[in-house]
Amino acid sequence: MLDPSPEDDGTSPTVSSPDFVGRDRELAALRGALARPPAIVLVEGEAGIGKSRLLREWLAAPDQRTALVSVCPPLRESLTLGPIVDAFRGIDRPVSRLRLTELTGALRPLFPEWSSDLPPALPQLDDAKAARHRLFRALDELLRALRVDVLVLEDAHWADEVTLEFLLFVTSRQQTGGPSLVISYRPEEVDDGSLLLRLTSRLPAGVTQLRIALAPMRPDDTAALVSSMLDGNPISQEFTTFMHERTGGVPLALEESVRLMCDRADLVFRDGQWVRLKLRELRVPPTVRDSTRERVGRLSPTAQQVLRAAATLAERSSVATIAMTAGLSPAACRSAVAEAAAAGVLDADDRGQWRFRHVLAATAVYEAIPLTDRRHVHLLAGRALEHIHPPPVARLAHHFRAAGETRSWARYAEHGAELAIASGDHTKAVDLLVDLLSWAVLPPVDRARVARIAGVAALGRREPVDEVYHRVIRTLRSVLETPGLSARQQAEIRNPLGRLLITGGEAQAALSELEQAVAASTTIRSRPPGR
C-alpha cells in the first residue's frame, strides 16, 4: 500500500501498531507502587482493555529491575503450577551458579531439565499438604536466589488453584524480603469460590498496595490511538464518534477494527484527515468475534438464550421485553440476565433497561444465531415491543420486516413515517418508506399510496442532493412501472417526482414528469361524474 499524504486524497493507509495511548496515569501509578517494595499491584479490566499492554510498557522501561513474567493460558483444565514453572524456564541465569539449599531438591519433578544442577531429590512425604508447603518454600527460595524483584502473573482468572495458593504463600512472606507481585485478571471471569478473591481482598499490612481498574478509552484517546495506527494523521470527528460508539473505547476492538477496515479498503485520506467510506456499519473483527462467542459459550443455556434476545432487540430493553423475546418466564429471565451481567456482558441503566456493554459483542452474538432461527426471534421481539406504550414504531417496523411479516411491517413503517414527518425528520420518514417499497410485496393501491407519501416527505428534506435523494428517485420511477396503477395514482407520484428532479437539476426530466402529471389530472377532472 502507498503511504498517505495530504496531497494524495483517496490513498489507502499503511497500518502500524498503535501507540501507547490514554494510560500514562496508570503507568505512573504502577511504577510508583513498585518503587516502594514490597508491593502488590492488581490490574483488572475486561478482555482487550489493555492490561497486557500496560505491563509490557512497564517491562520495557530501561531502569526495570529483575522481573519474572508468567501467563496463565486459557486451558479447559489448568496445569498445576504451570504458569509459575513456565516463568522460571525463561530465566537467563544458570541454575548451577545459584547458592541453593537441599530444600530445592523438591523442585526436581517440576524441572527435570535442571536435574544436574539441583540438589538431590528429597524423600516423599505422606502428607500432601506438607509436601505442598515444602514445594512452595523451595519455589520461594529459588525466587530469592535469582533475586527476582517482581513476579508478574497475567490472566490470573485462568490460574489453577495451586498457583493461586503459591501466590498467597508469597504474599505472606513479603515482609521478609520476597518479591513484589503484579497480578492482572478479568473480574467478571473470577468464580465466587476462586482463591483469587482471597488474594485480592485480604492484602497484607505493611505492603504497598495498588489496584488499577482499567476503563474504556475516552473519545479523544480513541482518536489518538486510531491516528497512531495511520501514520499519525488525524481522523475526522465523525469517524472518531463512530469508532468510539461501536467499540466502546476498548483498545483491542479499536485496533482490530482499524485493521479490518484497511483490509477492506474502507478508509481514505481526504482534506488532511482519514475518513471512512461508509459509516453505517462496522464488521466484527475475528478476534473480537471469537472472544465473545467463547465467553458467551461458558454461560448457561438460559443466559445464552437471553443474550440472543438482547442482541436481536439491539437497544436497551426491560426484563419483561427480553423475557418475551427469549420465550422465557420473567423469573427465569431475571436470573439469566443477572448471570450475563455478572459475566460483564450486559449492563443496565438507572431505569432497569438492559443491553450489551459493547455493540460489537452484540453483533457477534446476533451473527451466531442461525438464519433459520432469526426470523422467529425477530417475530417474538416485535410482539414483545407491541406491549410498550407508546409503541416504538421504527423498531417494530424493523423487527416485523426481519420476521417476514409484511402487513405488520407496512403498518408500522407508515406510522413511523407519519411521526417522523410530524417531528421534522423527513429523512427518517423517507428511509422507512423507501425501504418498504424496495423490499416488500404490496398491493398496487398500497404501493402507490406509500410512494406518494415518500415523495412528499422527500420534498421536505433540507439535505442537499445525496444518496437518499437518488434512492427516492429510483424508487418512485420503479413504482410508476407497477401494473394496474390508475391515472390519479400515477399523477400523485409524478408530481413530487418532478419537483424532486428540479431540485436535482434535471430540468428536462422534471418537465416531462410534471407534464404527465398535469395531463393525468386534466383527464381525471374532464371525466363525467360516475365514470
Q: Is 389-531 a domain of CATH 3.20.20.100?
A: no
More confident residue, 54 or 62: 54
Question: Domain 24-93+146-213 belongs to what topology?
Answer: Rossmann fold (3.40.50)
Q: For the chain, which residues make up each domain, given as ranges? A: 24-93+146-213, 219-283, 292-386, 389-531
Given pLDDT bands bounded at 50, 70 and 90, which one contains residue 526?
low
Entry pTM = 0.75
Q: What is the pLDDT of residue 523?
A: 66
Given pLDDT bands bounded at 50, 70 and 90, which one contains residue 260?
confident
Q: Could you give the C-alpha distances from 254 to 40, 237, 262, in angstroms and in order? A: 30, 15, 12
Phi then psi dihedrals of residue 36, to 5 deg: -125, 70
Q: What is the pLDDT of residue 4?
A: 39
Question: Domain 292-386 belongs to what topology?
Answer: Arc Repressor Mutant, subunit A (1.10.10)
Q: Is residue 201 within 8 Å of 185, Cβ to Cβ?
A: no
Q: What is the pLDDT of residue 3?
A: 38
DSSP 8-state assignment for residue 111: -
More confident residue, 353 or 8: 353
The residue-averaged pLDDT of 25-52 equals 94
| Digit-coded pLDDT (tens) for 208-245 | 999 999 999 999 999 999 999 988 888 889 889 988 99
More confident residue, 522 or 337: 337
Q: Is residue 110 within 8 Å of 81, Cβ to Cβ?
A: yes
- Return the exposure string of 77-94: e unless at least 16 CB atoms fall within 10 Å of the residue's CB, then b: ebeebbbbbebbeeeeee
24-93+146-213 and 389-531 share one fold: no
Give residue for cell 502473573: 153
Given pLDDT bands bounded at 50, 70 and 90, which one contains residue 7?
very low
Of 67-81, 203-217, 493-507, minimum mean pLDDT range: 67-81
pLDDT surpasses 90 at 316? yes
| Digit-coded pLDDT (tens) for 75-90 | 777 778 889 988 887 6
Q: What is the pLDDT of residue 1?
A: 32
Beta bridge partners of 184: 43
CA gap 326, 373 in Å, rounded: 12
Q: Which of 504, 413, 425, 430 is closest to 472 using CA atoms?
A: 430
